[in-house]
Amino acid sequence: MNRVQFAAAVFALASAATPAAAADFTGPRAEGRLGWTDVSTDEVDDDGLTYGVGIGYDYTFGQSIVVGAEANFDWIDVDGCATRAGGVLACFDTKRDISVAVRAGYKVLENTLVYAKGGYANGRVRGEFTQGGTTTGDTQNGDGFVVGGGAEQALGPNLYAKLEYAYSNYEAGVDRHQILLGVGFRFSGLGF
Residue 15 CB contacts under 8 Å (≥ 6 apart), including other chains: 112, 153, 161
The predicted model scores a pTM of 0.81
What's the CA gap between 140 and 126, in Å, rounded? 6
**Per-residue pLDDT at 48 exceeds 70:** yes
Are 10 and 186 within 8 A, CB to CB?
Answer: no
Q: According to the model, what pLDDT value does residue 41 have?
A: 80
Which sign, positive or negative, has the C-alpha torsion 178, 76, 151, 149? negative
Mean pLDDT of the chain: 87
Nearest to 48 by CA among 77, 75, 74, 82: 77
Instruction: Note the pLDDT of residue 13.
Output: 52
Residue 178, CB-side half-sphere exposure with 13 Å CA sphere? 28
Which residues does 154 contact at the CB level (< 8 Å), separation at least 6?
Answer: 18, 19, 23, 25, 111, 112, 160
Strands of 62-158, DSSP E:
65-77, 79-83, 89-109, 112-131, 134-154
The per-residue pLDDT for range 63-105, each reduced to its tens digit, is 899 999 999 999 998 888 888 777 778 787 888 999 999 999 9
Domains along the chain?
3-181 (2.40.160.20)
